[in-house]
Amino acid sequence: MRRLHPAVVLLLCAFAAVAGCGERERADGPPASVLHRGNAFEPETLDPHRVRSVETFNIIRDLYEGLIAEQPGGELGPGVAETWTVSEDGLTWRFRLRDNARWSNGDAVTAEDFAWSLRRAVHPDTGSYYAQMLSVIEDISVPEPGVLVLHLSGPTPYLPGLLAQPIAYPVHRATVETHGERFTRPGLNVSNGAYRIVEWEAHSHVRVERNLYYWNDERTRIHAVVFHPIEAESTELARYRAGDLHMTRTIPVQQYEWLQRNLSDELHVTPYLSTYFYGFNLTKPPFQGNLPLRKALSLAIDREVLAEQVVGSGEVPAYAWVTPGIDNYETQRPEWADWPRDQRLAEARRLYAEAGYSARNPLRVELRYNTAESHRRIAVAIASMWREQLGVEATLHNEEWQVFLNSRQSQQLEVYRSGWVGDYNDANTFAEAMMSTHGLNDMGWKNEEYDQLVVAAGRERDPAARRELLEQAERLLLSEYPVMPIYYYVSKALVKPTVGGYVPNVMNVHPSRHLYLRD
């Protein structure tokens, strides 16, 4: 034993050295004025102009504030802009900034800050994914201190929705110019929202604390917010149940029924501006120029079973492209959506035969999706429905995300899974995504009439006429079957009863400044 000692001592020393380098242990459980939120994954960046994911938007929204800001129910209202006016032709918007708006270092938030930031956001060197959203802005000017004027290329009734997005948030010019890409770091970052960043441990947490200079700080009730990046939904749930989190970002679908039975008071399932759909590649056979086939496949699937049983956590069967819950818009519905299932199937079989397929000569098609449990279930179910109802021989192929995007964008596949999340509460965000030039349109669907209708809607000032144009465009889209809508997403979250001020909304935005913790 004595002779072995050095080895044991050595190992123990190594253990002690490594074990000793940890940080202090934190207090057990969340203290009263600190809110712990589950937030999916590590932020890709905290630069509001380069951020990509809606999950990271949650952090950005606490740190920054745009001209327009979300109110407690998700509706839009004054942010840094106190009031604004729109010119008669709808092309000139004039914003008056509140004079008590401050950055977290005490500097005043000026109209120049916004002008500079909007220009930075769309500059190609910034590499923003959402720059296109601001393309309606033709010119920015600051005619007098505290006033920002935006000149647009067309009347854009949904402009407030755009200006509430991170892409239109201001960044602190001096900080960005001094620190470059490092400006988002704690200690360096200067922000103008209700909170400022104090800690950012990659893959552990982001901690923000109230910005005492925020113009409305007296209304901020939560002192600090900790965002935890938790990728696995089951882990997030376990941590929520163990009391580590006040709010989750989502729930594991498999646990939906269990949660409904056991935690129904804390479970919030809310319609969300997002459609789950399959796209047909229209640039190649078998779908190129084969409308009956596309329609047959769309009719043959049972959306009720898919939404309610296969996904089964409150999702809504989708027969159209634009989600319900959009302001000033009526959800479209193809005629057959109200037929009994047998009639739909009979029609699907007729169309399938018309398209030239039969039991002897079945359609052989590959269905591609990106690797994820939920997509896999839907794909298995759809392939099975097509086989049972039409005799289609569908093979499944899953690819991980980047490979999948590559196959999609180079149009190397046949039927593929996709989804779209509306950026703001207006049908335009959906209508635009199906235009022939849009980045989401990997189906290769080109319809000039459709593009013209959407463009015309963008120029229309009268809300009723504009709505009519957009609805007409969607009916055209639905009659051509380039896509097969499957279900409308819902946002799902668990919120502890101690969290007050939580108002479920279609945008699924819950800025921490509107929340509070009960004792």
Partner 1 sequence: MLAHSVKRVVGAVPTLFILITLAFFMMRLAPGGPFDAEKALAPEVQANLDRIYHLDEPLPAQYARYLGNVVRGDLGPSFQYQDWTVNELIARGLPVSLRLGVTALVLALLLGVTAGTLAALRQNAATDHAVMTAAMTGISIPNFVMAPLLILVFAVWLGWLPAGGWSGGALRNMLLPVVVLTLPLVAYIARLTRGSMIEVLRSDYIRTARAKGLPERTVVLRHALRPALLPVVSFLGPAIAALLSGSLVVEQIFGLPGIGRYFVQGALNRDYTLVMGVVIFYGSLVIVMNVIVDLVYAWLDPKVRY
Partner 2 sequence: MAGSESQVLSDAWHRLRRNRAAVVAAAILAAITLLALFAPALSPHPYDHTYWDKVSIAPTLSDGHLFGTDAVGRDLFVRTLHGGRISLLVGIAATLVSLLIGVGWGATAGYLGGRVDAVMMRIVDILYAIPFVFLVILLMVAFGRNILLIFIAIGAIKWLDMARIVRGQTLSLKRREFVEAAQAAGVSSFAIIRRHIVPNLLGVVAVYVTLTIPQVILIESFLSFLGLGVQEPSTSWGLLVADGAREMQNAPWMLLFPALFLAVTLFCFNFIGDGLRDALDPKDR
Judged by CB, which is closer to partner 1: 3, or 360? 3
Distance in angstroms (rounded) separating the CA atoms of residues 328 and 469: 12
Q: Where are the beta strands (DSSP E) in 218-376?
A: 224-228, 267-280, 316-317, 364-370
Stretch that binds partner 2, among 165-173, 353-361, 396-404, 505-513 (CB under 8 A): 396-404
Per DSSP, 242 falls in state T
Q: Interface with partner 2 includes 53 (CB under 8 A)?
A: no
Distance in angstroms (rounded) separating the CA atoms of residues 91 and 153: 7
Closest CB 276 distance from partner 2, rounded Å = 16
Helix (H) or strand (E) holding 516, with range, is strand 516-517
Q: Interface with partner 1 includes 275 (CB under 8 A)?
A: no
Closest CA to 336 of 368, 299, 307: 299
Beta bridge partners of 500: 516
Closest CB 161 distance from partner 1, rounded Å = 17
48, 157, 252, 511: residue in contact with partner 2 (rule CB under 8 A): 252
Distance in angstroms (rounded) separating the CA atoms of residues 379 and 89: 48
Beta bridge partners of 70: 76
309, 406, 412, 452: residue in contact with partner 2 (rule CB under 8 A): 309
119, 185, 284, 333: residue in contact with partner 1 (rule CB under 8 A): 185
Q: Interface with partner 2 includes 397 (CB under 8 A)?
A: yes
39, 110, 128, 505: residue in contact with partner 1 (rule CB under 8 A): 128
Q: Show the site string, 198-217: x = touches partner 1 by CB under 8 A, - = not.
A: ---xxxx-------------
Antiparallel, parallel or unpaired: β 195-201 and 147-152: unpaired
- From the list partner 1, partner 2, none, pick the one residue 360 interacts with, judged by a Cβ distance below 5 to 8 Å according to partner type: none
Closest CB 50 distance from partner 1, rounded Å = 6
Per DSSP, 307 falls in state I
The residue count for binding partner 2 (CB under 8 A) is 25
Judged by CB, which is closer to partner 2: 201, or 400? 400
Question: Positive or negative CA dihedral for 288, 320, 250, 512?
Answer: positive
Q: Interface with partner 2 includes 310 (CB under 8 A)?
A: yes
Residue whose pair of structure tokens reads 């948030």 in the numeric block? 169
Please give the distance of CA 193 from its chain centroid, rounded to a whole number: 21
In 229-340, alpha helices (H): 233-241, 256-262, 291-300, 303-305
Judged by CB, which is closer to partner 2: 251, or 326? 251
Closest CB 262 distance from partner 1, rounded Å = 12
Exposed / middle / buried, residue 81 (Cβ in 10 Å: 0-12, 13-18, 19+): buried
Closest CB 455 distance from partner 1, rounded Å = 18
Q: Show the site string, 368-387: x = touches partner 2 by CB under 8 A, - = not.
A: ---x-x--xx-xxx-xx---
Contact call for residues 336 and 299 (beta carbons, < 8 A): yes
Per DSSP, 400 falls in state -
Judged by CB, which is closer to partner 1: 26, or 360? 26
CA angle 300/302/307 to nearest 5° reads 145
Q: Which positions lie near partner 1, rule CB under 8 A?
A: 1-4, 7, 11-12, 14-15, 18-19, 21-26, 42-47, 50, 52, 124-125, 127-129, 131-132, 181-182, 184-185, 201-204, 228-232, 234-235, 238-239, 241-242, 244, 400-403, 405-407, 409, 418-419, 433, 438-440
Q: Which positions lie near partner 2, rule CB under 8 A?
A: 234, 252, 254-255, 257-258, 302, 305, 309-310, 371, 373, 376-377, 379-381, 383-384, 396-400, 403
